[in-house]
Amino acid sequence: MSKLTQAVVMLLFGGAILRASFTDLYLRYVKEGLRPFLIGAGLLLVAAAVMTLWYSFRSPSTETDHDHHEPRVGWLLILPVLGLLLVAPPALGSYAASQAGSVTAQSPESDYPPLPEGSPVDVGLVDYASRALYDAGKSMENRDVRLTGFITTAPDGKPMLARMVLSCCAADGRPIKIGLTGRAPIDVPADTWVAVVGAYSPEKGKDPVNNVDVAYLEVKTWEEVPEPKQPYA
């Protein structure tokens, strides 16, 4: 590949990374805390591209003679970069959740802290699952909670609430799944984002994919909501 081709690819790729980093698009790929590293990587790629272009135009005769013997297929590397610039991929959803086993809720080393004031109180799906499975709901006693996630379908056809959990990036995303009882959102299409309000349910289930315990929520009300800016837990 010629230096000119390398420079163009690096410039476009660096620009795509910076574009994603300065908007919410990067949240479709990595965790929020990795934004500074993406910006740094994008700037380095742009700087390297500029230096390569400068060197290429500074020695045009040598570069032209070298390019004459190189296949033009190298320019096809621009296509995936243009895809990154022009196409915003959807966040991982119900299909990914149905194919992967639920993450294991972690048992704390000490008691769970009380929930914040307010009713209902917003609780993350991982936090709810941990409190429900390892605290038997004691820290949520007589409290209504609100969980936000997308609808996925259990093997028995019943709706479940899910959200993808990232360790680093979307490639390692795994779901946290919550079973729904009571006034669950029946006949709601998969991947629909909803906010469900309810209370702790002692019911438990098993994720058939990896046999992990699944907590349940007794749903009182629910409403459809837009996909959040940060779709991952």
In a shared domain, residues 116 and 77: no
For the stretch 40-75, pLDDT in tens is: 998 999 999 888 888 877 775 555 555 555 556 666
Same domain flag for 104 and 217: yes
70 and 98 share a domain? no
Supply the pLDDT for residue 130. Answer: 92
Q: Which of 86, 121, 138 is the last residue of a domain?
A: 86
The SS3 assignment for 182 reads: strand
Is 229 contained in some domain?
no
Q: Are residues 192 and 212 in the same domain?
A: yes
Number of domains present in the structure of the chain: 2
pTM of the prediction?
Answer: 0.75
Rg (CA), the chain: 24
Say if residue 103 is in the same domain as residue 82: no
Mean per-residue pLDDT, 17-39: 85
Q: Of the given ranges (33-47, 189-203, 212-226), which has the lowest mean pLDDT?
A: 33-47
Confidence of residue 169 (pLDDT cuts 50, 70, 90): confident
Dist. CA 52–CA 9, nearest whole Å? 11
Among 36, 64, 86, the domain-final residue is 86
Are 123 and 215 in the same domain? yes
Contact residues for 111 (Cβ-Cβ < 8 A; gap 6+): 135, 139
- At 125-150, the pLDDT tens digits run 999 999 999 888 898 988 999 999 99
Whether pLDDT at 77 is above 70: no
Q: How far apart are CA 55 and CA 225, in angstroms?
A: 52
Q: Which domain holds residue 15?
A: 3-86
Residue 97 pLDDT level (bands cut at 50, 70, 90): confident
- For residues 54 and 136, state if they share a domain: no
**% the chain with pLDDT above 90:** 36
Q: Over 70: is that where the pLDDT of 101 sits?
A: yes
